[in-house]
Structure 1
Amino acid sequence: MPVPPPQTPRSHAPRTSDLDRPDVLTLDDVLATDPGRHRVLTGDRPTGALHVGHLFGTLQTRVALQRHGVDTVVVVADYQVVTDRDDVGDLPTAVRDVVLDQLAAGLDPVATTFFVHSAVPALHQLMLPFLSLVSVAELDRNPTVKAEQAASGRTSSGLLLTYPVHQAADVLSVGGTLVPVGRDQLPHLELTRTVARRFNRRYGRTFDEPSALLSDAPLVLGTDGTKMSKSRGNAIELRADADTTAAALRGARTDSEHVVTYEPDRRPEVANLVLLGALASGRTPQDVAAEIGAAGAGSLKRFVTDALVEHLAPLRARRAELARDPSVVDEVLARGAERAAALAGATLADVRRAMRQTT
């Protein structure tokens, strides 16, 4: 099981103004009450291999939630792959790889439910009544939609425009009470809460408004100092071998200063390597920077490579073992689809009754 992350750098900690909101919780808030009363909905688009940014940014949080008895549901959003691309590639293999990465990272399919979007039709039927509850203007000015559109470099499709409503259907279909998000994703969840509130007002009490589980996980950048992404060629994949990991880190961008310091705002590339080394070794970034110091960027890269390869070795061994039996993922997804379909079917029945669409 991955070690918990060390002390989070101040620049990535949740803002006080965020934490003052009653609909925004931290992991400590959840664990301090009754973790078993929550249901988390989270997920991934199967657009490429999961990488160390996913591990330290989201997967460790999922493992912690599972370990403390929080009912966790993970959607592999295959339908949303076409949101911003024409070619979906080998989607079945991509779905399988995403699930394998998460199982290898420590998620237990007995405690955590995995399902694929396309396996739960009732979820998507909820989109129609939900779309009637929001305006085009609200969708058009959603900052997350704008960010996705800018990243894709394409004209906005109807699916991209309604992406937040689709996510509302994800959450509300399974009765999710908590949604792990970063600060930049809070507008997405706010729209989910708006959909639930407006449906309740129009048709009668049907949904609870989910809360945000605000992550304080540090942001891990790619080897070029920008957002880690497979499409940018700057990611360190969880399934990669040690030599591939070492090669990626040897080519990681640094700067012209010789002494290694941890200054995320002034020296983001160097700070990112320090952070990676700290996360992999279970230390603070400040300690790692102090140890490397005048030894320079070459020593820093060697330290990070050794720490990360050692940290990922058990995960990669588990993944290789799981991948030898194709039926493992098939069984996980079949069991998850059965549960998700039952939850979404019950929700759809409640919606129809509330809207008086059934006798």
Structure 2
Amino acid sequence: METIPEAPHAAGAEHRSRELEERIAAEPGAFRVLTGDRPTGPLHLGHYFGTLANRVRLQRAGVDLFVLVADYQVLTDRDVADRLPEHVEGLIADHLAAGVDPSSATIFRHSAVPALNQLMLPFLSLVSVAELQRNPTVKDEIAASRQTSVSGLMFTYPVHQAADILFCKANLVPVGKDQLPHQEITRTIARRFNERYGPVFPVPDALLSAAPNLLGTDGRKMSKSRGNAIALSAGPDETARLIRRAVTDGDRYIAYAPETRPQVSNLVLLAALCQDRDPHDVAAGIGDGGATALKKVVTDSVNEFLRPIRARRAELAADRTYLRRVLAEGNERANAVADRTLDEVRTAMGC
């Protein structure tokens, strides 16, 4: 078994992503995207600007969108899937409130699509233990979990992700630069299967996101579990409270300088994203107003930006029957696709 190639350098991946964006603009119907999230709590502004807005953009451009509610993957780094039904419905509400159209997007959950998960078996035969051990994303997940032992689900997470992507024959996967090694395992599995059994799967391309990396209000990575993120469902008062607690620095003059003033620049960037303006212009408008003026601008900007999303999400959350119907219809579509793919796999393998 040949070794999994190293993930493409970021520069090469960025060049390829620019080519893909041109092709998407010219022929969006030629692409199917697989993307998704683990249902571990409400999505926040980091999710919105990092992934959700891009999903909506691609769908509106005409790309076929599959959104995975990765309920099985909740168990990769925890013992139980806490409050899972609530988090699944909340995840769907967040997507719809952000602008994903359920009439054309396929929104589904892992546990409802048996044929998808069955692809894990042949896919595991196409990678070695050593290859999984070397995967930097697996190493990071294991380190971040702080667990004394590693479950088989966590160890084989990249193979499960390959099944997520390939079951629907997605040919485009939006990722950040840190996920390129992870994506390369999916590409390798697709190539190896096709070489061994015949052409069944496309080799999916990574579409690098140009999304900024937003920090949490404490200056660390934005995370649900750290309590440093502003949820899409957060009310105006909670948003104001979180921003008042945000870390800044002692320099009264506000400037956008991510390298030297990361906490202040993060708040400036958040306001700029919500206003759809250049962060340097936002900073210049605040000038020597200091942290108090900065936090007021950020609070007002975020609350105004989230106002229609919050209103739509509140309507959706109040109609759980509708959310369940959206998921049921998405599960049905995903099952039909997965069953066809599994039939092709069985035929190709002769089993």
Assess same fold via TM > 0.5.
Answer: yes
Write out aligned runs for 1:4-15 (5 A): 15=10
1:234 pairs with 2:228: yes
Query: Offset at 1:16?
Result: 3.1
Structure 1 residue 292 and structure 2 residue 286: aligned?
A: yes
Task: Give per-residue Cα distances to partners, 1:71-120, cap 9 Å, x unaligned.
Answer: 00000000000000013211011100000011001111012110010000
Distance 2:44 2:339 in 1: 34
Instruction: Count how many residue pairs are aligned between Structure 1 and Structure 2.
Output: 342
TM-score by length of 1: 0.93
Cα distance, 1:30–1:229 mapped onto 2, change above 3 Å = farther
Aligned to 1:61: 54
- Seen in structure 2, the aligned counterparts of structure 1 residues 26 and 300 have a Cα distance that, compared at 3 Å, is farther
Please name the residue that 2:296 is paired with. Answer: 302
Q: Which amino acid aligns with 2:53?
A: Q
Quote the residue 2:80 is aligned against: 87
The one-letter amino acid paired with 1:346 is: R
Shift of residue 18, structure 1, vs aligned partner: 2.3
Report what 2:272 is aligned to. Answer: 278
Shift of 1:206: 1.1
User: 1:11 is matched with which residue?
Assistant: none
What amino acid is the match of 1:181?
Answer: V
Please show how residues 39-54 of structure 1 align to structure 2 within 5 Å.
Answer: 39-54=32-47
Amino acid at match of 1:118: S
CA contact (8 A) 1:168 1:195 kept: yes
Distance 1:192 1:29 in 2: 24
Shift of 1:30: 4.1
1:304-330 deviation line (CA, Å, top 9, x unaligned): 000100000000000111122111111
- Partner residue of 1:130? 123
The answer for the alignment partner of 1:322 in structure 2 is 316
2: CA distance, partners of 1:248 / 1:296: 18
1:215 maps to which residue? 209
TM-score, structure 2 normalization? 0.95
Q: Distance in 2 between matches of 1:28 and 1:203?
A: 32
Instruction: Give 2:197's aligned amino acid.
Output: Y
8 Å CA contact retained: 1:26, 1:213: no
1:110-125 → structure 2 map (5 Å cutoff):
110-125=103-118
Show the counterpart of 1:252: 246
2:168 corresponds to which of 139, 150, 174: 174
Residue 19 of structure 1 aligns with an amino acid whose one-letter code is E
Which residue number corresponds to residue 18 of structure 1? 13
> Once superposed, what is the RMSD of the aligned Cα atoms?
1.3
Q: Runs (4+) of structure 1 moved beyond 6 Å?
A: none
Q: Kindly provide the amino acid, as one letter, of the partner of residue 194 in structure 1.
A: T
Identify the residue that residue 200 of structure 1 maps to in structure 2: 194
SS at match of 1:261: coil
What corresponds to 1:3 in structure 2?
A: none
Return the letter of the residue paired with 2:237. Answer: D
User: SS of the counterpart of 1:195?
Assistant: helix
Matched, 1:335 2:329: yes
Read off the aligned partner of 1:56 and give its amino acid letter.
Answer: F
* 1:173-202 alpha-carbon deviations (Å, 9 max, x no partner): 011010010000011111000000000111
2:142 counterpart (112, 130, 149):
149
Partner of 1:7: none
Residue 60 of structure 1 aligns with an amino acid whose one-letter code is A
Distance 1:316 1:27, change over 3 A: farther
Identity of aligned residues (%): 61
- Partner Cα distance (2:23, 2:43) in 1: 26
TM-superposition CA deviations, 1:131-173 (whole Å, max 9, x none): 0000011111111111111111113211111000000000000
Q: 3-state DSSP class of the match of 1:230?
A: coil
Report SS of the residue matched to 1:254: coil
Unaligned runs of 5+ in 2: 1-8
Paired AA for residue 256 in structure 1 = G
Separation of aligned partners in 2, 1:177 and 1:195: 14
Answering whether residue 306 of structure 2 is matched by residue 312 of structure 1, we say yes
- Cα pair distance change 1:245/1:322, threshold 3 Å: same
Cross-structure match for 1:106: 99
Specify the alignment match of 1:349 in structure 2. Answer: 343
Q: Give the drift of 1:220.
A: 1.0
Extract unaligned runs of 5+ from structure 1.
1-13
Q: Rate the CA distance shift 1:251–1:263 in 2: closer, same or farther, 3 A.
A: same
Letter of the aligned partner of 2:196 in structure 1? Answer: R
